[in-house]
A and B are shown apart, each in its own frame.
Chain A
Amino acid sequence: DQQVKQNSPSLSVQEGRISILNCDYTNSMFDYFLWYKKYPAEGPTFLISISSIKDKNEDGRFTVFLNKSAKHLSLHIVPSQPGDSAVYFCAASRDPEYGNKLVFGAGTILRVKS
């Protein structure tokens, strides 16, 4: 039972364009969401997060949008750069003050072409 789904295994984008990575979740109890970036042979690194009380969070080139009614979130990268090429994982957690478990999606491979 996949509670967090990333339906696009891969995405290819031209340098300078927008990259949009999508994530859907099924558990309505989730109230904190994160995106992680992973390069080959390295551990995931934290990118950006959003609480369920917000619908948007922005950090430089990265913006995460949350649509609670649709149980959907997306990560926008503008402008995309070749160094953004990596695997992106969406993750969700419930009860952020006390919960310790992250539930991850399967990941989306982003390739930014120069």
Chain B
Amino acid sequence: GAGVSQSPRYKVAKRGQDVALRCDPISGHVSLFWYQQALGQGPEFLTYFQNEAQLDKSGLPSDRFFAERPEGSVSTLKIQRTQQEDSAVYLCASSSKTGISGNTIYFGEGSWLTVV
């Protein structure tokens, strides 16, 4: 596809359930980001991959959150034992370069997670 694709678009999980969110970045993009956006807030950084290497995971809120990008393309964000506070939109983004300056970062439409 032409853009960043995320699935599922909408997910309702029962508290305690594990969920997996998938991101298909733009083909050939080196950098991949995950952000979490709570209702009424701006996106908050979770983690960053350069190819298959996870270079920054400082934003992951707890050890229940795990992200991987084993072949340097598709990425999965896994949340174990979901809690109500995990309810948010999870945004994936990719870019063709590393760094931020002069580098257009393309966001997907997000995966809307509701934990009940």
Contact = CB atoms under 8 A, between A and B. Distances in A.
Decide if the interface of chain B is mainly helix, strand, loop or mixed.
loop
Interface in A56-114: 89, 91, 93, 96-107
B104 interface: yes
Given A32-B100, A43-B91, A96-B100, A102 B45 contact: yes
Given A104-B44, A106-B40, A98 B91 contact: no
Contact of B93 (A43, A97, A103): A43
Contacts of A102: 35, 43, 45, 100, 105
Interface residues of A, number: 28
Interface of B: 4, 31, 33, 35, 40-45, 48, 50, 55-56, 58-59, 91, 93, 98-101, 104-110
Interface of A: 4, 6, 32, 34, 36, 41-46, 49, 51, 89, 91, 93, 96-107
